[in-house]
């Protein structure tokens, strides 16, 4: 079994699901168990400056093996899995030498993953594919990235004859709930530049991401017995529906792709008396992003003028911004990654992230940090999968990037 596969299977056995309703970092204490495991492994490998801080961030150093002046290079991945689907008791299965047909994921439930629904499967015919049994997510987002960085570290520390500069490693909690960079100590990390290893299919390379905000809509109604409510009841649920129906119907994630932004209703709950809706707002264009927030404010003003002031409350909070403007002065990061991919037989696919990474926020904190692929697909759900050979190729990619950084003048 390869080092990266062994690592991955170990890490997905830890339930590290984060929680959106908790303000603390980490949002779940169980993330600390994986953090301690990673620190112990790094110490056993003889990495230096290994630490787990009070907020569950893991840091470590692979010391330089060359006297040449080389920028300090960082690699970052996150330990938590998404709140959207259970990460407890993951039961992985490896489909060896995939034949291109349907994959029976669970004999008891009859759950099948079909290439007609997930055509990316066909790219990996003849390879070994890891799936779940359909009762949990797999956790490749981002334990594949963690496993790949750890396999890279193990290789370099076991081969001090390989010349390279100082390498810094960072593993973060709570990325999936937008707080992965909240307490990341950029100064302590000490890298000049870095990559997150948190992307999708093999070859993905990303330095553009959404501008992101959250929006909470609170609607205050008035509940009165329906038998005597004429002219007096104000149904918060109906007013919430009215709010939602005023948003552009086509600007919904199910109708968008590429650079197109959206409003996404993530949750809705309530009664006649009170209702609440939670949205995420996304757009690659800063101008369109600001327009989306302003539009929600106008809808709020309109409904308050129609019903009465204070009926609808809108709480907007920016989450992160498009890192493109922070990466553009450091485009050699993209050039090095592309050249590294091409040299080891990976076709680079430079695409915008329809989401975000810790690297987006870290780029705004002074650490330019584009995103590399992990090899996985269908994140945050039961049909998640990752080819073993893709993980092994990403390890090779990380080593090649380090080699090219060392060779740069």
Query: Do residues 390 and 316 both lie within one domain?
Result: no
Please tell me the distance from the alpha carbon of residue 212 to that of residue 400, in angstroms, as a whole number. 32
**Do 110 and 167 belong together in one domain?**
yes
198 annotated to bind ligand? yes
pTM, full prediction: 0.90
Residue that terminates a domain, selected from 320, 346, 381: 320
Q: Any binding-site annotation on 133?
A: no
Clarify whether residues 201 and 220 are in a common domain: no
Sequence-separated (6 or more) residues with CB below 8 Å from residue 19: 27, 28, 83, 177
Cα separation, 288 vs 118, in Å, equals: 31
Cis omega (within 30 of 0) for bond into 26: yes
58-62 and 48-52 beta bridge pairing: antiparallel
Q: Tell me: do 128 and 276 sit in the same domain.
A: no
CA distances from 378 to 21, 28, 278, 389 (A): 24, 24, 23, 17
d(CA 103, CA 378): 15
Burial (Cβ within 10 Å: 0-12, 13-18, ≥19) of residue 119: exposed
Q: Do residue 102 and residue 223 come from a single domain?
A: no
- 380 appears as a binding residue in the annotation: yes
Model pLDDT, residue 346: 97
Q: Cα separation of 349 and 385, whole Å?
A: 19
Which of 348, 368, 343 minimizes the C-alpha distance to 358? 368
pLDDT the model gives residue 365? 94
- Cα end-to-end span (Å), the chain: 37
Question: Of all helices (H) and strands (E), which one includes residue 31?
Answer: helix 31-44
- Say whether both 42 and 187 belong to one domain: yes
Do both 400 and 364 map to the same domain?
yes
Burial of 378 (0-12, 13-18, 19+ CB in 10 A): buried
Domain membership of residue 131 as a residue range: 3-209+322-407
Report whether the peptide linkage leading into residue 142 is cis, meaning its omega lies within 30 degrees of zero.
yes
Name the domain count of the chain.
2
Q: Is 225 annotated as a binding residue?
A: no
Angle at 406 between CA 388 and CA 47, to 5 degrees: 65
Query: How high is the pLDDT of residue 1?
Result: 65
Residue 80 annotated to the active site: yes
Do 329 and 281 lie in one domain? The reply is no
- Determine the pLDDT at residue 149: 98
> For position 409, what pLDDT does the model report?
61
Copy the structure tokens of residue 94: 């490896």
Q: Which of 286, 320, 354 is the last residue of a domain?
A: 320
- Listed residue (134, 24, 39) closest to 79, CA to CA: 39
The torsion region of residue 374 among left (phi > 0), alpha (psi -120 to 50) and beta comes to: alpha
What pLDDT does residue 264 have?
97
Residue 309 near residue 301, CB atoms below 8 Å: no
Which of the following is catalytic: 148, 154, 174, 175? 175
Is 365 catalytic? The answer is no
Which CATH number characterizes residue 19's domain? 3.40.630.10
Check residue 353 and give its pLDDT: 87
Per this entry, what is the length of the chain?
A: 409
Domain end, chosen from 301, 320, 339, is at 320
Q: Structure tokens of 318?
A: 């920016």
In this structure, the answer to whether residues 59 and 104 fall within a common structural domain is yes
Statement to judge: residues 284 and 350 lie in one domain: no
Torsion from C-alpha of 354, 355, 356, 357, nearest 10 degrees: -90
Please check whether residues 42 and 158 belong to one and the same domain.
yes
pLDDT in tens, the chain (409 residues): 699 999 999 999 999 999 988 989 999 999 999 999 999 999 999 999 999 999 999 999 999 999 999 999 999 999 999 998 999 999 999 999 999 999 999 999 999 999 999 999 999 999 999 999 999 999 999 999 999 999 999 999 999 999 999 999 999 999 999 889 999 999 999 999 999 999 999 999 999 999 999 999 999 999 998 998 898 899 999 999 999 999 999 999 999 999 999 999 999 999 999 999 999 999 999 999 999 999 999 999 999 999 999 999 999 999 889 999 999 999 999 999 999 999 999 999 998 988 888 999 999 999 999 999 999 999 999 999 999 999 999 999 999 999 999 998 6
CATH number, position 218: 3.30.70.360
Residues 135 and 166 reside in one and the same domain: yes
Distance CA 375, CA 204 (A): 8
Residue 134 to residues 8, 312, 324, Cα–Cα distance (Å): 18, 40, 36
């Amino acid at each position: 079994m390869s080092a990266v596969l062994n690592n991955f299977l170990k890490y997905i056995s830890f339930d590290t699901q984060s929680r959106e309703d908790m303000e603390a970092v980490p949002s779940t204490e169980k993330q600390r168990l994986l953090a301690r495991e990673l620190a112990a492994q790094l110490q056993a490998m003889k990495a230096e400056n290994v630490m787990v801080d009070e907020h569950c961030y893991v840091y470590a150093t692979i010391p330089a093996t060359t006297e040449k002046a080389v920028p300090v290079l960082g690699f970052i991945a996150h330990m938590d899995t998404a709140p959207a689907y259970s990460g407890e008791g993951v039961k992985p299965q490896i489909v060896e030498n995939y034949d291109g047909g349907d994959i029976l994921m669970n004999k008891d439930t009859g759950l099948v993953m079909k290439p007609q629904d997930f055509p990316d499967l066909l790219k990996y015919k003849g390879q070994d594919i890891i799936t779940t049994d359909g009762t949990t997510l797999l956790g490749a987002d981002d334990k594949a990235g963690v496993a790949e960085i750890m396999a890279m570290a193990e290789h370099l520390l076991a081969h001090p004859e390989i010349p390279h500069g100082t390498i810094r490693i960072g593993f973060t909690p709570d990325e999936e709930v937008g707080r992965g960079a909240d307490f990341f100590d950029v100064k302590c990390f000490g890298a000049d530049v870095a990559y997150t290893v948190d992307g999708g299919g093999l070859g993905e390379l990303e330095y553009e991401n959404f501008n992101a905000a959250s929006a909470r809509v609170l609607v205050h109604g008035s509940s009165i017995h329906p038998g005597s409510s004429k002219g007096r009841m104000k149904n918060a649920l109906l007013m919430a529906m009215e709010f939602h129906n005023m948003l552009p119907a086509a600007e919904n994630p199910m109708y968008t792709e590429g650079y197109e932004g959206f409003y996404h209703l993530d949750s809705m709950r309530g009664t006649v008396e009170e209702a609440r809706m939670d949205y995420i707002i996304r757009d690659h264009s800063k101008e369109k992003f600001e327009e989306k927030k302003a539009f929600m404010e106008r809808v709020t003003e309109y409904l308050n003028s129609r019903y009465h002031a204070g009926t609808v409350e809108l709480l907007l909070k920016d989450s992160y911004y498009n890192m493109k403007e922070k990466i553009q002065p450091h485009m050699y990061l993209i050039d090095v990654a592309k050249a590294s991919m091409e040299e080891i037989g990976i076709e680079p696919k430079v695409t915008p992230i329809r989401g975000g990474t810790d690297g987006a926020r870290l780029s705004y904190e002074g650490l330019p940090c584009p995103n590399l692929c992990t090899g996985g697909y269908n994140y945050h759900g039961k049909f998640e999968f990752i080819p073993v050979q893709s993980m092994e190729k990403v390890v090779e990619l990380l080593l090649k990037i380090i080699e090219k950084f060392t060779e740069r003048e």
